[in-house]
A and B are shown apart, each in its own frame.
Chain A
Amino acid sequence: MSINATPTGADTAVEETERHATVPAQRGSRRKAPLSENKKAERKLGWLLCAPAALVMVAVTAYPIIYSVWLSLQRFDLRFPDERQFIGLENYVTVLTNEFWWTAFGVTMLITVVTVAVELVLGMGLAIIMHRTLVGRGLVRTSALIPYGIVTVVAAFSWRYAWTPGTGYLADLFSDGAPLTERASSLAIIMLAEIWKTTPFMALLLMAGLALVPEDLLKAASTDGATAWQKFTKVMLPVMKPAILVALLFRTLDAFRVFDNIFVLTAGGNETSSVSMLAYNNLIRGLNLGIGSTMSVLIFITVAIIAFVFVKLFGTAAPGSDDGERR
């Protein structure tokens, strides 16, 4: 078998044509005999394999999610249970016309975009080092993953100490004042703490993606005189696309819900509050289940939009998309 049989395709064009040629044919045959023995068996096996995962997920989350959405349509403060009533979308109007919400939304967006972008670049570098280094591979891999394993709140506390003048080694090094009392520097520190903590997550996923890049292809590309950059973009990236999508997707979901680091580092002072902190303040501290749930649903919708854009951008590399599964 030639190298082209692998899904990677140093020569993507060839693969594309192959796919276009075969997929419609397959679809056609499927339509002709929809209930063939094989197809039925395949369906059954598919359902059987997915059933346990689906059951667990639905059993645990169906009621809480539906309940939250239902709460978001009500005026409901736990301390004034008598005043509970259905008010339709009024909570959404209240939140979406509130300036605290939009300030927090802006901060959250900024943090998400900056941290995910930086992490993607750093994570890719880290993944390549972890994957290809010639010396001390075990040491590099293990130590690079440690930040992800540290409990976030503890890490945040140590950053807070480090950046407070008098008690920390970083504050005096980088500024005269107290960096956590100014908006720009607080945000920078929050982002630094996030990036330090979660780059390993990116790197690990990307490294596992790298592990799928066939050595032969790289060697073949080298023989053909490809530069390192060409090897990276033409050989490695296409194979890693699904891994990159998953890493980006889940990091973005997480980044948009940033909470712990801000909570510990600034408690939202100097306009560094995120949407999750706002939801927490309304839901948990304010016991306003209506407004709090509304914010949760809005966060959910925003994240869903981001996820949708990612999945569309990556097209067929997305899990479950209907093309590439059979080769």
Chain B
Amino acid sequence: MSDPDEARRRRRPRVRAVAAAAALTLVAPMAACGSGDAGGPPTINLYYPPEQNLQKVVDDCNAQAQGRYEIAYRVLPRQADDQRVQMVRRLAAEDTGMDVLGLDVTWTQEFASADWIREWTGQDKAEVEQGTLAGPLDTARYEDKLFAAPKNTNVQLLWYRKDLVPQPPKSWDQMITAAQQLKDQGKPYQVLTMGAQYEGLVVLYNTLAESAGGKILNDDGTQAVMDDGTVRALEQLQRFATSGVTSPSFTNATEDPVRLEFQSGAGAFQVNWPFVYPALQEANPELAKQVGWARIPGVDENTPSKVTIGGVNLAVSSYSRHPELSFEAARCIRDAEHQKFSAINDGVPPTIEAVYDEPEMTEAYPMKDTILEELKEPATRPLTPAYQSISTVLSAILSPPSEIRPQQTADELRSAIADALQSKGVLP
């Protein structure tokens, strides 16, 4: 057997040199980084989801600030989960680099309870509450204090084919019957909406539950209720899923695929956010002419629906170095003028009621009256710091909707939600 010792000894210096070089490469760039703050006005870092024309709003606010502050728009990832993770991770580390945060309406209570965001008080609070719709404002409160300023809201509508359906249905059962008739006649008949195991399914269920007068949680969001109304909503969802009028992809469908399916002409009805309309006009103008909109059907035909609201709230980080300026910057971004701009250019519905009366809105938002009607009687998703856990539980237990057994599923949900509220047990 060989003995390479001699060879090794001779090669050693070279090995050392390589090791040293490798170590240097590792260390050198580390030393090179690290930067200081430059002079000039304080920077307000705005962390906000991607919105195409928000930079223009930011520029405008910077001009109005006249050098008192400079907002820098730091774009968050597209997916809601990625947005939340990034903010949570940095807030948990008490990062001072974030000032104003764009929070999905369902996160406000969570961030407030963890002391990651500041309460709005005094003049800032008064200005935000002035003229803002009650529903969106509710999503910004935690324990009766205001923790965020609603920047924009959102509601789903019923989109239907006027050439196939003369009158929009008043209830889900009417809609199912109408679709079944269309199916028998061999016409496009499907009712398209989101049914995959994710937030979209929770939004659908929450709309049904609130429309049926049900409560998932008690009023202060501390206990699981799951009353009769929520059971009726489960029955409705199950009936819908098994009626044969959904798309075969229903249990795997998210917003954009639903829009695309309707766009291709397969559906007679679509329950989806308003973004589908401008997209439809662009992609299939012929079909767009045949499409009407209405308030989402109720569970009873005589009780109008209550529709789940979405949207974004602006909050100020507890670790911001410039809290006063941050409140001011946030107010500027969400003021009436800028909400109108964003509504027209980025399609996000305003939270200030008066903006809907602006003349330019009619052209950009032909469906604004229906939106406003839904917004005035809205359904919020459970307002609790544990919302994300509840949502995970709801979507997992409700999926697939065809296998819901109403009373039994309600009991299962009640105990799973109770656990989630106390952060007990395992999330699915």
Contact = CB atoms under 8 A, between A and B. Distances in A.
Touching chains A and B, CB distance < 8 Å? yes
Given A41-B8, A177-B248, A285-B81, A100 B428 contact: yes
B113 interface: yes
Interface stretch (B155-163, B355-363, B383-391): B383-391
Interface string B260-277: 110010100000000000
B177 to A, nearest CB: 23
Interface stretch (A9-17, A135-143, A160-168, A200-208): A160-168
Given A79-B423, A178-B248, A181-B250, A281 B85 contact: no
Contacts of A180: 249, 252
Contacts of A285: 81, 84, 388-389, 392, 427
A77 B384 CA distance: 14
Interface in A132-152: none
Interface string A71-112: 000000111110100000000001100101100000000000
A280 B92 CA distance: 17
A51 B23 CA distance: 10
Contacts of A100: 396, 426-428
Interface string B69-97: 00000000000010011001000100000
Interface in B1-35: 1-2, 5, 8-9, 12, 15-16, 19, 22-23, 26
Contacts of A42: 5, 8
A226 interface: no
A285 B199 CA distance: 12
Interface stretch (A61-69, A190-198, A238-246, A267-275): A267-275
Interface string B110-133: 100110000000000000000000
B168 to A, nearest CB: 25
Contact of B389 (A45, A164, A286): A286
Given A181-B400, A281-B392, A285-B392, A79 B425 contact: no
B386 A282 contact: no
A284 B113 CA distance: 17
A4 to B, nearest CB: 13
Interface in A5-63: 22, 26, 38, 41-42, 45, 48-49, 51-52, 56
Contacts of A52: 19, 22-23
Contacts of A101: 426
A288 interface: yes
B423 A80 contact: yes
A178 B252 contact: yes
A266 B197 contact: yes
B257 interface: yes
A44 B198 CA distance: 56
A278 B393 CA distance: 12
Interface residues of B, number: 49
Nearest to A95: B426
A164 B85 contact: no
Contacts of B396: 100, 268
A101 B428 CA distance: 8
Interface in B224-275: 247-252, 257, 260-261, 264, 266
A281 B266 CA distance: 34
A94 B110 CA distance: 24
A327 B2 contact: yes
Q: By CB atoms of chain A within 10 A, which of B22, B23, B261, B389 has the most?
A: B389
Nearest to A181: B251
B389 A94 contact: no
B196 interface: yes
Given A41-B5, A45-B12, A181-B400, A164 B251 contact: no
Given A38-B5, A269-B197, A78 B92 contact: yes
B400 A269 contact: yes
Contacts of A268: 197, 396, 428
A41 B4 CA distance: 12
B251 A166 contact: no
Interface in B40-89: 81, 84-85, 88
A112 B12 CA distance: 43
A151 B260 CA distance: 24
Interface in B342-394: 385-386, 388-389, 392
A287 interface: yes
B180 interface: no
Contact of A287 (B257, B261, B388): B388
Nearest to B81: A285
Contacts of B16: 48
Given A51-B19, A288-B427, A165 B249 contact: yes
Nearest to B115: A81
A1 B34 CA distance: 59
Nearest to A75: B423
B389 A181 contact: no
Contact of A284 (B81, B251, B257): B81
Contacts of B428: 100, 268, 273, 278, 281
Contacts of B19: 48-49, 51-52
B222 interface: no
Contacts of A77: 423
B388 A167 contact: no
A236 interface: no
A282 B427 contact: yes
Given A181-B250, A285-B81, A22 B8 contact: no
A278 B426 contact: yes
A94 B426 contact: yes
Contacts of B399: 269-270
B305 to A, nearest CB: 26
Contacts of B114: 78-79, 81
Contacts of B425: 94, 98, 291
A288 B1 contact: no
Nearest to A161: B257
Contacts of A26: 1
Contacts of B248: 165, 176-178, 181
Contacts of A181: 248-252, 400
Given A49-B19, A95-B426, A100-B426, A22 B92 contact: no
A203 B251 CA distance: 36
Contacts of A51: 19
Contacts of B427: 100, 278, 281-282, 285-286, 288, 291
Given A52-B22, A164-B252, A288-B423, A79 B197 contact: no
A267 B2 CA distance: 57
B317 to A, nearest CB: 16
Nearest to A282: B427
A286 B392 contact: yes
Q: 5 smallest A-B Cβ distances: which pairs? A: A269-B197, A77-B423, A178-B248, A178-B249, A98-B426
5 contacts: A79-B386, A101-B426, A166-B249, A176-B248, A288-B427
